[in-house]
Amino acid sequence: MNIAAKFAIPSLLVTVLMAALVVPAAVQADSVRRIVHPDGTVEFTNVTGARAKPSTKKETVYRYKDSNGVVAFSEMRPADAEFDVIRFECYACKPNSTINWHKTRLFLEPYQDEIRIAARSFGVDPALVRAVIHAESAFNPQAVSSKGAQGLMQLMPGTAREVGVSNALDAAQNIRGGVNYLARMLQLHDGDIKLATAAYNAGPGAVDRHGGIPPYAETRAYVERVGILHQRYRNEAVN
């Protein structure tokens, strides 16, 4: 099965991925090509004549072994193989993002029941839950960050265990666990949404140490964008 294994990665990760791509020399030479783009990104592909495509930093990439034991990478989730999920970082955390957060498309349909039930259980505004999911993963249930945060609400393994989540890539579990944790942050900060979302992003310790929103560009961007999305999702709920 000749599944496309095409994606772009930062040059700093080339060494790691080259080490992981241990395949027979003949197979590697015949089926997997390495393309270096002008911007320094690297692409591995087994598609003949595949056009160079730089990363958008929003795609999900699956790493797995094919039927020949060859390590492969694909944007399509493998149906019959164990796989690891590779993803870039928090959707709303990039300080110089060019996304217009006042106009970007909202995710109004996905996970309505899961969000409603979890929000009601923990006393959190469903619009805020949807805003946090949008900011964390852009509603990608298989999202995994380089730091190990997983799923729709990007739960770290320790946090997932703390809120009783056994499988953070299960959407219902992830939402319930994430809303549970968000409710704790809201309670800790007397309902202050900005401080609670800063704590969700950077950790409650960072908020406590700095006496407010930490001076991290990523966290400040995240808090502002969650606020914008929250208001937009609330407006949609009213309408």
Do 118 and 177 share a domain, yes or no?
A: yes
Supply the pLDDT for residue 17.
Answer: 41
Do 80 and 47 share a domain, yes or no?
A: yes
- 109 is known as an active-site residue: no
User: Which pTM was predicted?
Assistant: 0.65
Q: Is residue 216 part of a domain?
A: yes
The mean pLDDT value for 12-21 works out to 40
Ranked by mean pLDDT, which of 16-30, 31-45, 156-170 comes out on top?
Answer: 156-170
* pLDDT over 90, % of the chain: 55
Do 76 and 124 share a domain, yes or no?
A: no
pLDDT band at 190 (very low <50, low <70, confident <90, very high): very high
Do 71 and 125 share a domain, yes or no?
A: no
Q: Is residue 83 part of a domain?
A: yes
Q: Is residue 102 part of a domain?
A: no
Q: Average pLDDT over the chain, rounded to whole? A: 77
Do 61 and 125 share a domain, yes or no?
A: no
Q: pLDDT, tens digit, for every residue of 30-80?
A: 455 554 444 444 445 554 444 433 334 444 555 567 777 766 656 566 667
Q: Is residue 141 part of a domain?
A: yes
Do 75 and 126 share a domain, yes or no?
A: no
Q: Is residue 188 part of a domain?
A: yes
Q: pLDDT, tens digit, for every residue of 75-109?
A: 566 667 665 554 446 888 888 889 999 999 999 99
pLDDT band at 148 (very low <50, low <70, confident <90, very high): confident
Supply the pLDDT for residue 32.
Answer: 52
- Domain ranges, residue 43: 8-87
Do 119 and 214 share a domain, yes or no?
A: yes
Q: pLDDT, tens digit, for every residue of 175-184?
A: 999 999 999 9
Do 39 and 123 share a domain, yes or no?
A: no
Supply the pLDDT for residue 204.
Answer: 94
CATH code for the domain in which residue 177 is found: 1.10.530.10
Supply the pLDDT for residue 193.
Answer: 98
Q: Is residue 99 part of a domain?
A: no
* From 82, 136, 218, 236, the catalytic residue: 136
Do 27 and 121 share a domain, yes or no?
A: no
Q: Is the pLDDT of residue 212 over 80?
A: yes
Do 230 and 171 share a domain, yes or no?
A: yes
Q: Is residue 24 part of a domain?
A: yes
Number of domains in the chain: 2
Do 227 and 190 share a domain, yes or no?
A: yes
Do 116 and 78 share a domain, yes or no?
A: no
The residues, any chain, with a CB within 8 Å of residue 119's CB and separated by 6 or more, are 125, 126, 129, 179
Q: Is residue 119 part of a domain?
A: yes
